[in-house]
Amino acid sequence: MSSGETLDSLSPDLDVLSSAIDDCFEIALSCLSPDEISSRLVTLHQLTAKLDAVRLATADHAKAIDLAGRNKTRNVADHVAGQFPIDPANARADELIAVWLRDFPLIAEAYAAGEITTAHVDKMRLNDKSRYHHLMMRDEQILLDSLRTCHFRDLATVFGEWL
């Protein structure tokens, strides 16, 4: 199976995406300037975040339509792991993040736009506690501004200051 080949291609948009990714491998990186390499690397990270957001939204919808039950698996993570060699724990983490994002539409929107990464969202989710979840929902814009502007390693400090 080539890097762009899918198991069962039913989605023309994903076929186009897969083909575009294959095309990226055709570019000789040695022919690019350091500025072009920098731009490419940053853009690839942004695109990864956007693709992660699509994957998580799809996982959330799969859970909502009981895809696991329809396929006689315990959960969506096990369904995915049965179709593709992925650690079910990773797919389960996707579901947890996707469910958490339901309460944070602004953060979900920024995530889908590639402004923040899965790591940012998951770090916020892991810091969320039931006793102040409603306050996080209220202050979503403040938290999002912090996610967008601070260095990733400083998120714990920013969150602590918010508390």
Average pLDDT, integer, range 40-57: 93
Which pLDDT score is estimated for 109?
Answer: 95
Taking Cα atoms as reference points, which of 41, 8, 1, 7 lies closest to residue 24?
A: 41
Asked if residues 7 and 83 have their Cβ atoms less than 8 Å apart, the reply is yes
Average pLDDT, integer, range 131-152: 91
0.85 surpassed by pTM:
no
Asked if residues 95 and 77 have their Cβ atoms less than 8 Å apart, the reply is yes
Question: In 3-state terms, what secondary structure has residue 103?
Answer: coil
Asked if residues 20 and 14 have their Cβ atoms less than 8 Å apart, the reply is no
Dig out the tokens for 144 from the structure: 């999002």
Whole-angstrom Cα distance, residue 96 to residue 66? 15
* Residue located via tokens 């969150």: 159
For the cut 50, the answer to whether the pLDDT of residue 4 exceeds it is: no
User: What percent of the chain has a predicted confidence (pLDDT) above 70?
Assistant: 94
For the cut 90, the answer to whether the pLDDT of residue 140 exceeds it is: yes
